[in-house]
Structure 1
Amino acid sequence: MNYDSIVRVAAVQAEPEWYDIEASVDKAIGLIEEAGRGGAELVAFPEVFISGYPWHLWLGSPGWGVGRFGKRFHASAMAVDGPQIARIRDAARVAGTAVVMGYSERAAGSVYMSQAFIGADGELIANRRKLKPTHVERSLYGEGDGSGFGVHPIGSALVGGLNCWEHYQPLSKYAMYSLHEQIHVASWPSMSMASDYYIHSAKASEEAVRMYAMEGQTFVLASTQIVTEKAHEFFCEDEEQVAVLGHGGGFSRIIGPDGSDLVPPPAPDAETVLFADLDLSAITLAKTFADPVGHYSRPDVLSLRINHAANKVTVSTGGDAEPVATPEVCEVVPSEDDVVGVSGQSPA
């Protein structure tokens, strides 16, 4: 592994073009171009930036949401092999900037909360799906599988990612730590929704990604959506719904492996691209104190088993017909017998 490089990165904080796939891609391309002009080798995008977080799930009954938004939402999702992602890949190549893009992935009749890892050459390196959508998200999105736990060589660093409340899942986090991730993309919606529960706040979410950096001794690019009056006009039918949806909710950050902010945090309702230069040698200093998948582990007492296999809904047992399948592009990190111990030591 390389710990001697300086990597310039960018993290987006912006409002999507709600349920409009072409406008969302146009906006994403503009932000990729901005990151490229700023010299970023990698730019991180929010959860389901294309084509916006489905706030209708939280604002009314399932019947109301499906009736008003269902067809439009599905039409605004992006296929991993479709023309819209091809445009994003081309923009990454032209800008010379790798991209981790959060998007609603359409696969036949289902939709998944996905992150596409795209190289600076425009190649699709990997695609992962959120392992377990959160709460009412499960009424709309399908689940991912263990093939989504991976780190990917992007430039001179190993890059991984998780979505939103996956950062509250201890085993999912530990699975990522065990892969010796150096730069982590934490993709989030806005955390603007009015709630009496602190865990729903932008502050709590910021604390979660900061703890991720400290626990895993990794750099974290937290990229978030924001909510403005444009979202109120799109989603809300009355002032009660406006009050529930809230305003702002952005908390994009670039955090070092010691938990410190590397750039000043933006205002929660500001559209911006954050830039920082990451000195990968800072990871080795942080791990000197506490490496939970190395010298600070006890694999003889605690261990984690990971099934990296991709789920298959059909198994062919013969015949001449070739099944039609959605292409699998998730990178699977090999491990002996699909087991990663608490020590996190990768097999040779």
Structure 2
Amino acid sequence: MATANDEVILCCVQDSPVSFDLQASLDKLTSLAREAATKARAAASSPSTPIVVLFPEAFLSAYPRGLDFGAKIGHRTAEGRSWFARYHASSVSVCDTEGPEMTTIRNAAKDNGITLVAGVIERCDRPETGKKRAEYGSSVAGGSGSIYCTALTISETGEVLASHRKLMPTGTERLVWGQGDGQGIRVASTRAGNVGAVICWENYMPLLRTAMYEKGVEIYCAPTADGRPTWTSSMQHIAMEGRCYVISCNQFNKRSDFPQDYPALNDLKPDEVVTRGGSVIVGPLGEIIAGPLWDQAGILVAKVNKSELIEAKMDFDAVGHYARNDVLRLQVNS
């Protein structure tokens, strides 16, 4: 039976960064986090109800849709290298946790009293400050020129709880993003429950999902760039498989959200849609409880009860009575 202490508010923010402009995108994240927290508290039964807010993949500060960075097999262009440098410059120095960029992100969680999960593009060329990277993510420094597609989890008090680098960038994403490692497979304990993040098509990796279930994920965050209607069914499957709440968040953007000189979208008018969205929140028996949201920016809010997580596992527990560890076993190298 649900009680007031079981209540959690789940939110996802479907919007666009100011692509390739980190400061403007940080300002937008700050504003949208405040708006999401306000909407969440309006839905809550108590001011103390914990809130989880998810932002999309690569929100800080661009998912470079359509851009090939001038690369073909055996050939690269000067223009493409210039765009890579521009992308690198608009990324977030995660290891500099006390620096201005990470402080802004951390304050977006702290000032609003929310657990914040946000997709960022990570650069690794600045000094490490605050917590050591091995405490919240991979101990691998990551190189001065490489960038990673990363999901950050920040606590209600502004502490960096987890930093997960995408294990396998998809298709031509591999040209510009490095690969993460097992140290970044983490689930963070929060007042809302155990929160974890798996990015976009990583969600199609059965063993990665199993690793998250083994770590006890209860609020499974799936920041994504996949705007196909079929994505919703995948999120429903994961919720049922893991008997967890799933929040999936995609960007919604138009041509005008990208720089005027962005070469990949020159054939589009400023108000034409580039990414449709499709953000959704799903319950542990696969029922859609908010969304999917299409063709507009917006914030989804769902009031849920953690007691339903145990109820859902009565007849299926993927890493418990249904695991058959005598037959099947997962090994994670971390």
TM range (shorter): 0.7 to 0.9
TM-score, normalization by structure 2: 0.82
Would the aligned equivalents of 1:55 and 1:235 in 2 still touch at CA under 8 Å? no
What residue number does 1:25 align with?
A: 26
Asked if residue 209 in structure 1 is aligned to residue 219 in structure 2, the reply is no
Partner of 2:280: 253
Once the two structures are superposed, what CA deviation does each residue of 1:274-316 show, in whole Å capped at 9, x if it has no partner?
A: 11112111111211121111111211111110112xxxxxxxx
**Structure 1 residues 285 and 43, CA, compared in 2 at 3 Å: closer, same or farther?**
same
Map 1:111-122 to 2 at 5 A.
Answer: 111-122=147-158
CA displacement, residues 125-165 of structure 1 (integer Å, 9 cap, x when unaligned): 12111111111111111111101111111214000010000
Q: What are the superposed Cα offsets for residues 86-144 of structure 1, whole Å, 9 maximum, x if unpaired?
A: 11211211111110111000012110111111011111112111111111111111111
Give the equivalent residue in structure 1 for 2:329: 303
Tell me the equivalent position of 1:337.
Answer: none
Does the alignment pair 1:179 with 2:206? no
Q: Are the structure 2 counterparts of residues 144 and 76 from structure 1 closer, same or farther at C-alpha, using a change threshold of 3 Å?
A: same
Rounded Cα–Cα distance in structure 2 between residues aligned with 1:127 and 1:279: 26
User: How far is the alpha carbon of 1:61 from its aligned partner?
Assistant: 4.0
**Gap change, CA 1:178 and 1:68, over 3 Å in 2:** same
Q: Which residue of structure 1 aligns with residue 136 of structure 2?
A: none
**Residue in 2 aligned with 1:87?**
104
Shift of 1:261: 1.1
User: CA contact under 8 A between 1:247 and 1:269: conserved in structure 2?
Assistant: no
Alpha-carbon deviation of 1:205?
Answer: 1.8
Tell me the distance in 1 between the aligned counterparts of 2:204 and 2:295.
24
1:107 aligns with 2:129: no
| In the alignment, structure 1 residue 69 sits paired with structure 2 residue 83 | yes
Equivalent residues of 2:280, 2:288 under 8 A apart: yes
Asked if structure 2 preserves the Cα contact closer than 8 Å seen for 1:5 and 1:281, the reply is: yes
How many equivalent residue pairs? 294
* Alpha-carbon distance in structure 2 between the residues aligned to 1:10 and 1:101: 12
CA distance, structure 2, for counterparts of residue 49 and residue 174 of structure 1: 26
Q: Does 1:282 align with 2:308?
A: yes
Greater Cα offset, 156-165 or 30-39? 30-39
Question: In 1, are the aligned partners of 2:56 and 2:224 still within 8 Å (CA)?
Answer: yes
Task: Name 2:46's counterpart in structure 1.
Answer: none
In the alignment, structure 1 segments of 5+ residues that lack a partner are 192-201, 309-348
Q: Distance in 2 between matches of 1:88 and 1:105?
A: 13
CA distance in 1, matches of 2:314, 2:154: 32
Identity %: 35
CA distance in 2, matches of 1:20, 1:255: 32
Q: 5+ residue gaps in structure 2?
A: 42-49, 126-144
1:298 counterpart SS class: coil
1:238 offset after TM fit, Å?
6.3
Match of 1:228 among 254, 257, 262: 254
